[in-house]
Amino acid sequence: MAAILLAEDDESMRSFLKRALEKAGHVVVDAGQGDDALAELQLREFDLLLTDIVMPGMDGIELARRSADIDPAMKIMFITGFAAVALNPANRTPQEAKVLSKPFHLRDLVDEVDRLIAA
């Protein structure tokens, strides 16, 4: 079981992902935008930040950078339809971050989260 901070601006997607991860045994705190997720990170520790890249306000890349500064041990995974954006070195994404491209099956998400947490 891991403590996961989920940042996704699409409410239905966020709810769907949260339920799937909780069903897999994880504790999930969700946020609809980067600023809200960063505030949650300052309240408690998480094992994993699972974030969309494209969000209003603070995007997922900036959230990942700031989160890595606050908790360098926390693992980071991007869920996005724009994998090339996350992988662009100019974006200075945290080196250890993983990318899961949309669309994906929920089983794939849970498997990837479990692998990343175990690593």
> Does the structure show a pLDDT above 60 at 20?
yes
Count of structural domains, the chain: 1
Q: What CATH number does residue 85 fall under?
A: 3.40.50.2300
According to the model, what pLDDT value does residue 69 have? 92
Instruction: Give the range of the structural domain holding residue 56, as residue numbers without chain letter.
Output: 3-118
Whether 18 and 30 have beta carbons less than 8 Å apart is answered as yes
pLDDT in tens, 81-106: 765 555 555 555 566 778 888 788 88
Is residue 117 a contact partner of residue 98, using CB atoms and an 8 Å limit? no
pLDDT, residue 94, reads 64
Q: Rounded to whole angstroms, how far apart are CA atoms 76 and 94?
A: 8
Spatial separation of the C-alpha atoms in residues 30 and 50, rounded to whole Å:
9
pTM of the model: 0.89
**Mean pLDDT calculated for residue range 18-31:** 97
| pLDDT single digits (tens) 30-83 | 999 999 999 999 999 999 999 998 888 898 989 999 999 999 999 999 988 765
User: Residue 36 CB: number of other CB atoms within 10 A?
Assistant: 18
